[in-house]
Amino acid sequence: MKTTTLALAATILGSLALGAGAATAAPLAVSGLQTDGASVTQVRMDRSERMMMKKRMMRKQMMKRHMMKKRMMMNRGM
């Protein structure tokens, strides 16, 4: 009973969202703004930015290893 009423409510809300006009602040209209893919440009990363990303990833891995080691040590005592 609950699943059917939930499904019915979802379909009603979905139909209302799809039937919303452009005057409403619906997020569906945002996808229509960017039609041309050429307007997005990619910028190459320089050496310092690449090194910063590498350091951040290495630090993240080190912290993950540290946490796993800490967890193993905590389990060993019990």
Q: What is the pTM of this model?
A: 0.40
**Interatomic CA distance for residues 56 and 62, integer angstroms:** 10
Interval 1-60: pLDDT, tens: 566 665 656 666 666 555 554 455 555 555 555 555 668 888 898 999 999 999 999 999
pLDDT, greater one: 72 or 66: 66
In contact, 12 and 18? CB cutoff 8 Å: no
**Interatomic CA distance for residues 64 and 73, integer angstroms:** 14
**How many other β-carbons are positioned within 10 Å of the β-carbon of residue 71?**
10
Place of tokens 């905590």: 74
pLDDT at 63: 95
Q: How confident is the model at residue 76 (pLDDT cuts 50, 70, 90)?
A: confident
Q: How far apart are the first and last CA of the chain?
A: 48
pLDDT, greater one: 9 or 78: 9
